[in-house]
Amino acid sequence: SAVISQKPSRDICQRGTSLTIQCQVDSQVTMMFWYRQQPGQSLTLIATANQGSEATYESGFVIDKFPISRPNLTFSTLTVSNLSPEDSSIYLCSVATTGSYTFGSGTRLTVV
C-alpha cells in the first residue's frame, strides 16, 4: 500500500490567516482525498483532488475556503483560508489504490 507523508503535523494559527497542508505520496495515484475531523467528531470528506483538473468539493465546502492544488500524481496541498476558531480540527489526506486505502498522519490545527 502507499505511504503518505503529511506536513505539518500540527500548527497554531491566528484567526484571519491561512494554513497550507501538504501530502506527499510515495507512488502515483489518480485521486487524493481531503478530510476534516472536528473535535470529538468523525471524519467528513472535504474534496477529491484530481490531477490536471479542479478539485471536486462536497456539499458544505467551497473552493474559496479550502483551495486545493494537485500539481502531479504524488502531491497535493489543502489550504484552509481566513481561519476562524471553528476551523480548529484535524485535517487528513487519503489515497485509495487497488483494494487499499491509506491515510496521512493528520494535521492538528488550532486557531486562536
Partner 1 sequence: SQQGEEDPQALSIQEGENATMNCSYKTSINNLQWYRQNSGRGLVHLILIRSNEREKHSGRLRVTLDTSKKSSSLLITASRAADTASYFCATDLSSNTGKLIFGQGTTLQVKP
Which residues make up the interface to partner 1 (CB under 8 A)?
Answer: 31, 33, 35, 37, 39, 41-45, 48, 59, 90, 92, 94-96, 99, 101-106, 108
CA dist., res. 48 & res. 95, Å (int): 10
35 versus 66: smaller Cβ distance to partner 1: 35
28 versus 82: smaller Cβ distance to partner 1: 28
Whole-number minimum distance, CB 30 to partner 1, in Å? Answer: 8
The grid coordinates of residue 56 equal 471536486
CA dist., res. 98 & res. 29, Å (int): 10
The grid coordinates of residue 30 equal 489518480
DSSP strand pairing (10-13 vs 107-111): parallel
CA dist., res. 10 & res. 26, Å (int): 22
42 versus 82: smaller Cβ distance to partner 1: 42
Whole-number minimum distance, CB 45 to partner 1, in Å? Answer: 6
The grid coordinates of residue 79 equal 489550504
Whole-number minimum distance, CB 74 to partner 1, in Å? Answer: 16
Whole-number minimum distance, CB 67 to partner 1, in Å? Answer: 19
